[in-house]
Amino acid sequence: MKSFLLFIFLQIIPAPVEFAETGKDCQVHSVRVATGRRASRGFRTMAASLPAFAQKEAYSIDVGKKRIRIEALTEEGAFRAQQTLRMMELSGQPIHCCKITDYPRFEHRGLMIDESRSFKGKEFIMKQIDAMALLKLNVLHLHLTDAAGWRIEIKSHPELTQKAAWRIGRTYAEWEKNGYPFCTEDAPQAYGGYYTQDDLREIVEYAARRFIKVIPEIEMPGHSMEVNRTCPELACIDSTGRRRNWAWDLCPGNEGTFRLLEDVLDEVMDIFPGKYIHIGGDEAVMKDWRECVNCKARMEAEGYSDVHQLQGYLVRRMANYLQEHGRTAVGWDEILETGVPQDAVIQSWRGSSGGRKAAAAGHKVIMSPNTHCYFDYYQDLIRKEPLATGELTSLHWVYTYNPLEGISEEDASCILGLQANLWCEKVPTPEHAEYMLYPRLFAIAETAWSPTSLQRDPVEFRARARALLEVFRTLGYNTFDMDSESDFAIEGKRRTRTGEIIYPAF
Ligand code: ACM
Ligand code: ZN
């Protein structure tokens, strides 16, 4: 039975594929888990009909009067089942006898956290991994480098953290106002930090035990001012010999840039065992490349007529480097415009059009459009919210996002899934980050896991989200206050620049 009234009662996010109540209160005392060949033939037949990624995570739960039986093909499936049971327990409702059959809609169900603009640290990340596990999210994308701070220890280049992990300016705005100064750790007023390789290994291991993969992001060639400030000898240089050590972009004309990036990626691959490594690729300005003698020489040698081709050169070279080492590059949707290897995964952020084009070109795609999945954007009216970015992106708005909109059935198989992105220029503390994440991450979790065959009713979802938010509060998360949410946000409205009210396409 797929009644959403029952889901209110069940209070699970993401909603399971199939749920049927089979009796009243269960006085449970034991949980049995049957995985692999010990699962029933019926379960194995059901799972065999699913795509491979879903088979791994599929599970069933049979809550009887006195015992609970979990079935799954893998430990991962059994873990997802345990999270469902845990959520039922945490809801504080009596557990009724029921049968649940469940598996994910998408393979990639992610969250990105920007650790460069504000550094939140290991405990914060592990706490969010716990929340992700409960919500059946399975990819944590860590944005580890950007102009505002380099946050990963690189043993072959200790200068990156020595010179660019600390800054004068607790918030991004203060740092900007101060003129973007970096400093050493022992400087008075130093703000910042970085992950040691041991910290990151611990995070990877902690996440893996919860069947969550970690994708590290090393930005290139844009968003890289901290590298140019640390290694000025690599920055673009004009014909008068002036180094652009405040430049936003790395210099793709300088071989030293590639040596540095390869050294960094070697260590990154050693820490992060997963298939995917994110190499950024967004918002390169390319201005200094026009004047740089090394960039001009590279253009001439490659027969290029446009600096955009230099971005393609750098991204392809690094994507190929990863490929040679058995890994796959992920990049923001700009990388599609300048040519990338076919195996590169495209992450759509400038709306969904980049993702649609990438899927049509046969690339695997992660959907995280700023129109719906940017959690640094306001979640309620500007006048009642802390300073944020962008347009009103309320819970309702996020919930009504359709990642397959405008994508043909044939191309839909290229969509790996979706992801929330929490950029932190205006999110200075861990508490503020949680405030921006919850409850909106619940909506991403449900869209990414639950099938569209379930009737998606935002009013009903809101009731479940509200109940789960209470649970999150008792677990110690700082959340947005749904009780004070404006009707405008509850209804998922937005106003265009000319004042016209728009609704999400649903
Ligand atoms: C991005 O938001 N610049 C990927
Ligand atoms: Zn250059």
pLDDT band of 297, cuts 50, 70, 90: very high
CA of 264 to the centre of ligand 1 (A): 21
Band the pLDDT of 94: cuts 50, 70, 90. confident
CB atoms within 10 A of CB 255: 11
C-alpha to C-alpha distance for 349 and 21, rounded to whole angstroms: 41
Measured N-to-C along each axis, helices 293-302 and 308-324 cross at an angle, to the nearest 10 degrees, of 80
**Catalytic positions, please?**
146, 223, 283
Testing ligand 1's pocket by substitution, the residue of 117, 146, 282, 368 carrying the most ligand atoms inside 8 A of its CB is 282
Q: Which-ligand-closest: CA of 294?
A: 2
Closest residue by Cα to residue 7 from 93, 66, 77, 72: 93
**pLDDT the model gives residue 505:** 59
Tell me: pLDDT of 1 over 90: no
Cα angle: 184, vertex 434, 460; to 5 degrees = 160
Residues β-bridged to residue 96: 25
Contact in structure between 276 and 319 (CB atoms under 8 Å): no
Give the per-residue pLDDT at 6: 53
Ligand nearest to the CA of 278: 1
Report the pLDDT averaged over residues 329-345. 97
Whether pLDDT at 457 is above 80: yes
The backbone region for 30, taken as left when phi is positive above 0, alpha when psi lies in -120 to 50, beta otherwise, is beta
Stretch 84-111: mean pLDDT: 94
Q: What is the pLDDT of residue 96?
A: 85
**In this structure, how many other beta carbons lie within 10 angstroms of the beta carbon of residue 186?**
7
Calpha distance 449→226 (Å, rounded): 38
pLDDT at 46: 98
Q: What is the mean pLDDT of residues 72-77?
A: 98
Pocket of ligand 1 (CB under 6 A): 282-283, 332, 349
**What is the Cβ-side half-sphere exposure of residue 458, based on CA atoms within 13 angstroms?**
19
Residue 85 reports pLDDT greater than 80: yes
Res 259 pLDDT > 90: yes
d(CA 341, CA 486): 46
Q: How is 387-434 classified by DSSP, letter by letter?
A: S-BSS---HHHHHT--TTTT--HHHHTTEEEEEEEE--TT--SHHHHH
What kind of fold does domain 221-343 have according to CATH?
A: TIM Barrel (3.20.20)
Ion ligand 2, residue ranges at CB < 5 A: 236, 251, 253, 292, 294-295
Position 2 scores a pLDDT of: 46
Give the ligand with the smallest distance to the CA of 284: 1
Burial letters 213-243, b for 16+ CB under 10 A, else e: bbbbbbbbbbbbbbbbbbbeebbbbeeeeeb
Q: What is the mean pLDDT of residues 251-265?
A: 98
Q: How far is the CA of 350 from the centre of ligand 1 (A)?
A: 8
SS3 165: coil
Fill in the DSSP letter of residue 326: T
* Residue pair 365/339 in contact by the 8 Å Cβ criterion: no
Alpha carbon nearest to ligand 1 atom 3, residue: 282
**C-alpha–C-alpha distance, residues 473 and 280, integer Å:** 34
At 370 the pLDDT is 97
Please identify, by atom number, the ligand 1 atom nearest to the C-alpha of residue 370. 2
Instruction: Specify which residues 59 forms β-bridges with.
Output: 72, 102
CA distance 30 to 304: 68
Considering the domain 2-102 in this protein, what is its CATH number? 3.30.379.10
Protein residue with its CA nearest to atom 2 in ligand 1: 349
SS (H, E, C) 230-286: HCHHHCCECCCCCECCCCCCCCCCCHHHHHHHHHHHHHHHHHCCCCEEEEECCCCCC
Distance from Cα 324 to the centre of ligand 2, integer Å = 26
CA distance 369 to 444: 12
Q: Which ligand is nearest to the Cα of residue 419, counting in written order?
A: 1
pLDDT recorded at residue 66: 87
Query: In this predicted model, what pLDDT tens digit does every residue of 144-161 receive, in sequence order?
Result: 999 999 999 999 999 999
**What contacts 63, CB < 8 A, 6 or more positions away?**
22, 26, 28, 95, 96, 97, 98, 99, 100
Q: What integer best gives the mean pLDDT of the chain?
A: 95
CB atoms inside a 10 Å sphere around CB 130? 15
Q: 494-503 pLDDT, tens per residue?
A: 988 888 888 7
Domain ranges of the chain: 2-102, 105-153+194-218+367-506, 221-343
Token reading at 477: 């998360």
Q: Which of 141, 335, 349, 372 to mutate to test the pocket of ligand 1 (most atoms within 8 A of CB)?
A: 349
Measured from the CA of 332, which atom of ligand 1 is nearest?
4
189 pLDDT above the threshold of 60: yes
pLDDT band per the 50, 70, 90 thresholds, residue 385: very high
What is the arithmetic mean of pLDDT over 395-400? 96
Our measurement of the distance from residue 127's CA atom to the centroid of its chain's CA atoms, rounded to an integer in Å, reads: 15
| d(CA 503, ligand 1 centre) in Å | 24
DSSP reduced 3-state for 121: coil
Determine contact, residues 348/354, Cβ cutoff 8 Å.
yes
Residue range 105-153+194-218+367-506 forms a domain whose CATH class is alpha beta
| Ligand 1 mean position, distance from CA 380 (Å) | 22
Examine the pLDDT at 5 and tell me if it is beyond 60.
no
- Would the CATH topology of 2-102 be identical to that of 105-153+194-218+367-506? no
- In this predicted structure, what is the pLDDT of residue 9? 59
Determine the average pLDDT of the residues in 110-125: 98
| d(C-alpha 383, C-alpha 394), whole Å | 14
Q: Which atom of ligand 1 is nearest to the CA of 283?
A: 3
Cβ-based neighbour number of residue 487 at 10 Å: 8
171 Cα–ligand 1 center, Å: 19
